[in-house]
Structure 1
Amino acid sequence: MKKIILSVVMAVAGLSGLIQTAQADEPEVRTATVTPCANATKDEIAAMVKRDFLQNRIPRWDTDKKVLGTSTPVAWVDAGSISGDNKKWDIPLKVRGDHADKTYDVTLNCQLGEITYSTPA
């Protein structure tokens, strides 16, 4: 009876390890839904991306927090560097942490209400 219980415990522990490994291999989701923004100006787009990153993305992205060295980075967007139109914007988001400065290429599809972040470069 003890051998059976020990076998079950070991099987559960092994399965748990496999699940944790599989979860660690899953990429972080880099696309999210946002409020449609068809009539927004470049300054409004810049503020929207910065706010979305700081409030909604960085709290969930453990890998990025480790790379940056903080869970409270400084983020900014130069509105003059935004390209595109009211349908689809390309926005370079610059982020400064304690360990590194990184840039995210952000695509904002205002028609679909969808924002996508690259991995930090």
Structure 2
Amino acid sequence: MAENTDEIKHISPKAGRGLVANEYGADCPRIEVPELHDGKPHWLVRQGTIKILWWVFSGILALTVIAQFFVHVHEYFSIDGWFGFYAIYGFVSCLGMVVFAKLLGVLLKRPDTYYDDL
């Protein structure tokens, strides 16, 4: 993109809801930030809440693995009858998707100046 602010084209007021590009990035829509209640951030972004949620979700995941002691699993192959197989399978599958996405990102990545070179 153009580094000089004089080279930026002005857009019609209807296109940007009344915004006029008079500086770099001025035509980008802005997100309203909610006001803080009593000077504290939202409860979902507080450090204490995040720690509690990690413990709760980890406990739920542990309970689903422990439930295999009480629920009979009908195995189709010998490996899926192992204790905790589905938890391990889910973790390995998720890990594989993340690694695949990272590798795909390396292959599809373009330099920051990709559109400037066209």
TM-score (norm 2): 0.26
Task: Select the structure that is richer in strand.
Answer: 1
Task: Select the structure that is richer in helix.
Answer: 2
Flag the structure with larger Rg: 2
